[in-house]
């Protein structure tokens, strides 16, 4: 399984512009033959490009410095120098870029979207540019300007249609493995998932969605306990929250309230996110016990009894998740339309 790397630091250096040229052509009756020095080429830029096929910043752990090409110098006969080669770095969607001062430069959210993080220097003007009626034979040209250099921090906030939220060992990894081709680590002890795992889930009739198994959440996570903020920031980019509750736990209702408290303390808007409760491990429970647990959970929440181990109830759960995702997307479109008025 590919390692999940969600924070890296890189150094980017755009190319310097080429210098302008001082040159004169030989032509009868023209002072000094007339200027014909070309401009220098612009330096190459460093650009981040969104790639929906990437899910990690792993590539940047092996190489940290990226240099774009410098522009060529201008030449005689009014020949401009070629522009320097631009460096395009592919990054996963959800990548946030900040500079050395902690200021956010932008984020990459769409496939193919580009974010310029270091601009190339402008090429210098050749002496042809400085010719005038009073200055027919200029012997001056501009040097090229240096390109920008930036020390950047890249942080990936996961983008998924739905995210599995639950306490350690609630069965999230088992559930993800049961409904997708993902292969998260599964064991009989907590915190086997130390970083998010993505899976593509087929919901029938050519419908699919991206489901994220996010590391387990402990009480006090908003203060950094356990995996803390490393967990919570990934929840922000999910359209639908699927709370995975262990039906065999001592107090399922309390577990659910702890999860909700941690989410709204970290980011109050998460409280309004569409949510579904997956009551897991019902294969270990009697029917009467399941009904008693359901009665203690909020009546307004949709509760889906399931078993990730035996796959019981998973089809019904997936249909409810895809419906919630569709409604969330409709809400996003309405919000975008309202903001454009």
Residues 102, 142 within the same domain: yes
H-helix or E-strand spanning residue 105: strand 104-108
pLDDT at 182: 52
Residues 79, 58 within the same domain: yes
Residue 6 CA neighbour count, 13 Å, CB half? 18
| pLDDT surpasses 90 at 109 | no
Residue 244 falls inside a structural domain: yes
Residues 213, 312 within the same domain: yes
Residues 219, 74 within the same domain: no
Q: Structure pTM?
A: 0.65
| pLDDT surpasses 80 at 303 | yes
Residues 199, 259 within the same domain: yes
Residues 326, 272 within the same domain: yes
Domain CATH number, residue 53: 2.70.210.12
Residue 267 falls inside a structural domain: yes
Residues 164-217: pLDDT tens digits?
Answer: 888 877 888 888 888 876 554 433 433 334 456 777 787 666 677 888 777 655
Question: Greater confidence, 56 or 125?
Answer: 125
Which whole number is the average pLDDT over 99-127?
94
What would the DSSP string read from start to end of 157-175? ---EEEEEE--TTSSHHHH
pLDDT at 145: 97
Residues 208, 308 within the same domain: yes
Residue at which a domain ends, from 127, 156, 185: 156
Q: Containing domain of residue 184, as a range?
A: 160-339
Q: For residues 97 and 31, what is the distance between their CA atoms, to the nearest angstrom?
A: 54
Residue 286 falls inside a structural domain: yes
Residues 170, 150 within the same domain: no
Residue 140 falls inside a structural domain: yes
pLDDT band at 137 (very low <50, low <70, confident <90, very high): confident
**What does residue 254 show for φ and ψ, rounded to 5 degrees?**
-65, -40
Residues 236, 130 within the same domain: no
CB neighbours of 178 closer than 8 A, spacing ≥ 6? Answer: 308, 309, 311, 314
Residues 220-245: pLDDT tens digits?
Answer: 434 444 444 455 666 777 889 999 99
Minimum mean pLDDT among 89-103, 199-213, 278-292: which range? 199-213
**How many domains does the structure of the chain reveal?**
2
Residues 167, 19 within the same domain: no
What share of the chain has pLDDT > 70, as a percent? 84
pLDDT, the chain, mean: 83
| pLDDT surpasses 80 at 115 | yes
Residue 1 falls inside a structural domain: no
Residue 2 falls inside a structural domain: no
Rg (CA), the chain: 29
End-to-end Cα distance, the chain: 46
Residues 172, 110 within the same domain: no
Residue at which a domain ends, from 156, 172, 202: 156
- 67 near 147, Cβ under 8 Å? no
Which range is most confident: 203-212, 251-260, 324-333? 251-260
Which whole number is the average pLDDT over 270-289?
91
Residue 20 falls inside a structural domain: yes
| pLDDT surpasses 90 at 18 | yes
pLDDT band at 6 (very low <50, low <70, confident <90, very high): confident
Residues 180, 90 within the same domain: no
Residue at which a domain ends, from 110, 139, 156: 156
pLDDT at 175: 87
pLDDT at 226: 41
């Amino acid at each position: 399984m590919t390692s999940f790397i969600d924070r890296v630091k890189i150094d980017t250096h755009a190319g310097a512009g080429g210098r302008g040229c001082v040159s004169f052509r030989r032509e009868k009756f023209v002072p000094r033959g007339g200027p014909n020095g070309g401009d220098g080429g612009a330096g190459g830029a460093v650009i981040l490009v969104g790639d929906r096929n990437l899910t990690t910043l792993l590539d940047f752990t092996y190489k940290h410095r990226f240099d774009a090409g410098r522009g060529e110098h201008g030449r005689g006969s009014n020949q401009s120098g070629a522009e320097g080669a631009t460096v395009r770095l592919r990054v996963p969607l959800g990548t946030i870029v900040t500079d050395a001062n902690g200021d956010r430069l932008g984020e990459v959210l769409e496939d193919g979207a580009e974010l310029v993080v270091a601009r190339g220097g402008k090429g210098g003007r050749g002496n042809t540019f400085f010719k005038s009626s009073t200055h027919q034979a200029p012997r001056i040209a501009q040097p090229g300007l240096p390109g920008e250099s930036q020390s950047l921090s890249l942080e990936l906030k996961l983008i998924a249609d739905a995210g599995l939220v639950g306490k350690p060992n609630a069965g999230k990894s088992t559930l993800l493995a049961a409904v997708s081709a993902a292969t998260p680590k599964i064991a009989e002890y907590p915190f086997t998932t130390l970083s998010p795992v993505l899976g593509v889930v087929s919901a029938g009739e050519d419908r699919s969605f991206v489901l994220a198994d996010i590391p387990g959440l402990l009480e006090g996570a908003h203060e950094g306990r356990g995996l803390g903020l490393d967990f919570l920031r990934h929840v922000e980019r999910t359209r639908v929250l699927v709370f995975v509750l262990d039906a065999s736990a001592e107090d399922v209702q309390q577990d659910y309230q702890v999860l909700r408290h941690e989410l709204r303390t970290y980011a109050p808007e998460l409280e309004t996110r569409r949510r579904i409760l997956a009551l897991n491990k019902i294969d270990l429970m009697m029917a009467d016990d399941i009904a008693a647990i359901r009665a203690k959970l909020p009546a307004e929440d949709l509760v889906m009894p399931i078993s990730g181990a035996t796959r019981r109830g998973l089809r019904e759960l997936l249909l409810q998740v895809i419906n919630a995702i569709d409604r969330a997307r409709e809400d996003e479109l309405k919000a975008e339309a309202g903001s454009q008025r």
